[in-house]
Amino acid sequence: MLVASAAALALALSACGTTEDDADNSSSDSNEKITITDARGEKVTLDGPAEKVASTEWNTVEYLISLGIQPTAVSDIKGFKAWDQSVELDDSATDIGTRGEPSIDTLAGLGLDVVFVTDTLAGDAIKQIEETTPVIVMPGGDSSDPFGQMWKNVDLVAQATGTEDEAADLKKDFDDKIAEAKETIAATDAAGAPVAFNDAWEQGGAVSVRPYLEGSQIGAVLKELGFEDAWTSVEGVEGDAVYGLGTTDIEGLTKLPADTLYWYIANDTDVDVYAGSLKDNKVWTSLPFVKAGNVERFPDGIWMFGGPASMLDFTDAVVKTVS
């Protein structure tokens, strides 16, 4: 389960900006320089397609591996392997510390072509990294268009690494599999059902629930698959502008529709409050969807803030759950 500190970190890992098309974000062959405009509006020029790359954020690590690029360095490798098992990170990758505070000295000594980061790094970390290595700042997300931002991020990474063809194949495969899953779900009794997807944690004896609303990537997948967002029935639950995540408590769950499919993500590296402290909670056990057995913990290792690979693994889990 994402504990409070992890939840706060996920909410904070964001950057605002857009990528530019055509001349500013283009590459034609491996001998030409590549100029990319990142989330800061900064133009970053590379000598050619980047091969030795590092990422401080797990979504970009997933993008890279999905595009056929094994990153040279990654933040918190142990955490990545626990939370994002949709792609396989090579054992040769160097750990560069935490996602929020990577080791500047380690990055400087790796001879990297580029480092992908978010603009939430502590202090002047971006400036320090840029003293030795080009830096591309990625937006964390956009709750007004979660899929759109995900693909902009993928395209940005593809432009920097010369893997535009692989990115196009990745998108086609994604669209095909989502369409297939939608058709499968439409033939089940769960078609069109209200879904309340979330994670939760306990702090100081109080349980906090974090809804994944329609503006989250998970919410976007559920909408595309034909489900309704059950969280719209809970007054006061609003998503943040970047990740589309809300907040509520156990009392708030009493406002969910009786026929809600209550799905959540956890991880064996943390505490599952639904299987633990809430197991005998009277408010929790009295909820109609709990009584009906419509509570499902999704498989570990699906990173809810990941890329296309994570979203397809999530889709597969949805199909398995309702079939």
156 and 229 fall within a common domain: no
Indicate whether 10 belongs to any domain: no
Indicate whether 246 belongs to any domain: yes
Question: Tokens standing for 18?
Answer: 């857009």
Distance between CA atoms of 320 and 304, rounded to whole angstroms? 18
Lowest-confidence segment of 40-44, 123-127, 292-296 by average pLDDT: 123-127
Of the CA atoms within 13 Å of residue 124, those in its CB half-sphere come to 4
Indicate whether 113 belongs to any domain: yes
219 and 124 fall within a common domain: no
Indicate whether 216 belongs to any domain: yes
**Does residue 102 have a pLDDT over 80?**
yes
168 and 245 fall within a common domain: no
Question: Tokens standing for 311?
Answer: 């979203």
Lowest-confidence segment of 14-18, 274-278, 288-292 by average pLDDT: 14-18
Q: Over the stretch 115-155, which tens digit does the pLDDT of each residue have?
A: 999 877 778 999 999 999 999 999 889 999 999 999 999 99
Distance between CA atoms of 150 and 247, rounded to whole angstroms? 23
Phi (first) and psi of residue 31, to 5 degrees: -95, -5
Q: Over the stretch 227-253, which tens digit does the pLDDT of each residue have?
A: 999 999 999 999 999 999 999 999 999
Q: Over the stretch 176-217, which tens digit does the pLDDT of each residue have?
A: 999 999 999 999 999 999 999 999 999 998 999 999 999 999
24 and 130 fall within a common domain: yes
167 and 209 fall within a common domain: no
Cβ–Cβ under 8 Å, residues 102 and 83:
no
Indicate whether 4 belongs to any domain: no
Nearest to 63 by CA among 167, 196, 137: 167
- Global pTM value: 0.89
- Residue 47 carries which side chain, given as an amino acid letter? D
Nearest to 245 by CA among 143, 120, 105: 143
- Residue 117 carries which side chain, given as an amino acid letter? V
Distance between CA atoms of 265 and 213, rounded to whole angstroms? 14
Q: Please give the pLDDT value at position 29.
A: 52
104 and 31 fall within a common domain: yes
Report helix, strand or coil for 203: strand
Cβ–Cβ under 8 Å, residues 305 and 58:
yes
Q: Residue 30's pLDDT band (boundaries 50, 70, 90)? A: low
Question: Tokens standing for 152?
Answer: 């902009």
- Give, as one character, the DSSP assignment of residue 214: T
249 and 160 fall within a common domain: no
Share of the chain above pLDDT 70, in %: 90
Are β-strands 194-203 and 206-211 bridged in parallel, bridged antiparallel, or unpaired? Answer: antiparallel
Indicate whether 92 belongs to any domain: yes
| Cα–chain center distance at 115 | 19
Q: Where are the beta strands (DSSP E) in the chain?
A: 34-37, 43-46, 53-55, 73-74, 94-95, 114-117, 135-137, 194-203, 206-211, 228-229, 261-265, 295-298
Question: Tokens standing for 56?
Answer: 């401080």
Number of domains in the chain: 2
Cβ–Cβ under 8 Å, residues 83 and 65:
no
Indicate whether 82 belongs to any domain: yes
Domain that holds residue 26: 16-173
**Does residue 18 have a pLDDT over 50?**
no
147 and 217 fall within a common domain: no
134 and 205 fall within a common domain: no
Indicate whether 5 belongs to any domain: no
